[in-house]
Homo-oligomer: A and B are copies of this chain.
Amino acid sequence: MAQLRDVAKEAGVSMAVASRVLNGDETVRVTSETKARVLKAAQALAYQPNHRARALRLSRTGAIAMVVPSASNMIFADIYAGVRDVCVGRGLSIFLCQIQRPAVPERQLVDLVGAGQVDAVLLQRSDLFDDDQLAALVSVGIPVLLVNSSLPGHQGSLALDDAAAVAMAVEHLRGLGHQRLALIGGLATHDAAARRRVAFDDLVHGDPSVVEEAGWEATDGSVAMRRLLSSPVRPTGVITASANAALGALHAAQEAGLRVPDDISIVAIHDTWVCAFTTPGITCVAMPLTQLGRTAATLLLDCLDGATLPNSTLTDPPPRLVVRGSTAPPSA
């Protein structure tokens, strides 16, 4: 593999010149002829700058880590798409690092970033972290942006507009005439889940309503729905805090012999392609996940260029209601 030295020799210039030309350094003036010679030499030798040497010299690896609780959650894929958009544009690569439980993985992240393998981290919190564990994770010397999660005292987070999403779901159900609403929410430890719950409580204040605390997965949604169905005042409209949970909830309702949406309506927060392929399709409040990824990555990269990480909320574009077959006016 050709090195800079070879290119320089081939072009009959010093390594310094070759380096500057190849890096498009504008501040240095070179004969357009020498420049051409260098470029041609590089081309001829198929020169690829050695990434490792560059990283050492510049103290930059050109990679960021994306830490997620679960790579199989489709939320991840959508966020990744956004992150990828901006990283590809800026020539960065992305490490994927799945961290679900704290104990060992805490070391993982420190090993990873402490070792200087990545320049910055984009972290999506797992339900299983409590604040202290998260704090340990983010206390590494490089920028860490919390995606759709926050940590008291930590600088750098980007949240979704959970309240708006919940409001949209509640409004949709109320508009159809539903009076008794339920929320199948996330675990209280997860702050996006907490925000959604607070929003829900505020909106249904006074009405008969019930909240189930559940995980993000389909089984969690099933279990919660079964509990809901056996409650004294059965809700007619159910909001789930994740698309996965909605699948579980739909399944449990159908298994219990209910017809959806005739007997019970279901609306999910988050939209994934699967929601369009169930029978009935699941009505969703789609959140701008890809944009979340894009904004998050941009924030992080700007930070590497000297900007400060903000604690902010992504409100534009707003959540979007996607009406499918799982919601209808209550039958009674």
Contacts and interface: CB of A to CB of B under 8 A. Distances in A.
Interface of A: 1, 48-53, 55-56, 59, 61-63, 66, 70-72, 74, 76-78, 80-81, 84, 88, 91, 93-98, 108, 110-112, 114-117, 141, 218, 222, 247-248, 250-251, 254-255, 273-274, 276-279
Contact of A98 (B84, B141, B274): B84
Nearest to A248: B277
A114 B255 CA distance: 54
Contacts of A91: 111
A218 B277 contact: yes
B115 A50 contact: yes
Contacts of A62: 117
Contacts of A76: 71
A114 B1 CA distance: 9
A212 B317 CA distance: 40
A277 B141 CA distance: 43
Contacts of A254: 279
Given A55-B56, A72-B74, A98 B115 contact: no
A283 B59 CA distance: 52
A278 B72 CA distance: 18
Nearest to A79: B71
Contact of A63 (B66, B117, B218): B117
Contacts of A51: 61, 115-117
A325 to B, nearest CB: 10
B93 A93 contact: no
B98 A95 contact: no
B88 A93 contact: no
A76 B93 CA distance: 18
A78 B72 contact: yes
7 contacts: A63-B117, A72-B273, A95-B96, A96-B96, A218-B273, A248-B277, A250-B277
Contacts of A248: 277
